[in-house]
Amino acid sequence: MDCSIKGFPPYGFSIVLKFGGSIMRDLAVCKLALAELERLADKGHRILLVPGGGIPDKAIEAIDAAERLDPCTAHHACALAQDQTGYLLADAAFSSKLVPSASLGECRTLARLGKIPVLLPSRLLFAADPVEWSWDVTSDAVAAWIAWLTGAPQLVILTDVDGVHRGGATDDPAALIEQIAAQDLVLLGHTSIDACAVEFMAKKSLPGVVINARHPARLADWLEGRRVRATRITVASRKAHITSDPLGGAA
């Protein structure tokens, strides 16, 4: 979404970062990753963190596997699970700069003050209802939608693997795909980033990267344009989607 229109102040986020709930399985790794985000905020990066569902989400999935839940129940419970993970990440036990908020306007203000806003997305999701009530749509897709909504130039998926691997072979370093177009990544289906998120990125021309939280310094290297062990997701430029009519105007 274009946030440079007169009367519509930009949110000004450098990146929207989806913090995978899987990272919380190792609290030491989680703390190191959050410390790196705080260091980046000190350097002037305005980060909007979107939490994954984490441990609460896995509990909901387990219940659904045993006793099939109504899609409405599962969808709303999983959105609230993202809120719960967000509150945990912003606790003083894990961080000093992370602040939870359900308001995008407040998130904008927090980022300008050098904090790292943690968006609690449930209220926004319940009000706007932008995604399908399906297990195919994960917090990756929610983060992609929020990145587009706020006009962020990049989406970061911080997770527990190095990136997207051919055949899902995450234990094979040679299988890592270092760069791929979103349009091609869609064809691989659900990988370390969900297929719905990737298709959204392709359609909205939103580039991004999948990075391993166990190596948090890679995020800074990527932000500074250095090559890192990760999967960079490219897209066609927005200008490429504009065609000309026979009179020379934009179609």
Report pLDDT digits (tens) over 195-223.
999 999 999 999 999 999 999 999 999 99
Q: What is the DSSP string of 30-99?
A: HHHHHHHHHHHHHTT--EEEEE--HHHHHHHHHHHHHSPPPHHHHHHHHHHHHHHHHHHHTSTTT-SSEE
Report pLDDT digits (tens) over 119-148.
999 999 999 999 999 999 999 999 999 999
Rounded to whole angstroms, the Cα distance separating 178 from 212 reads 13
Rounded to whole angstroms, the Cα distance separating 239 from 193 reads 26
Task: Please give the CATH superfamily to which domain 15-241 belongs.
Answer: Acetylglutamate kinase-like (3.40.1160.10)
0.85 surpassed by pTM: yes
Q: What is the largest CA-CA distance in the chain?
A: 62
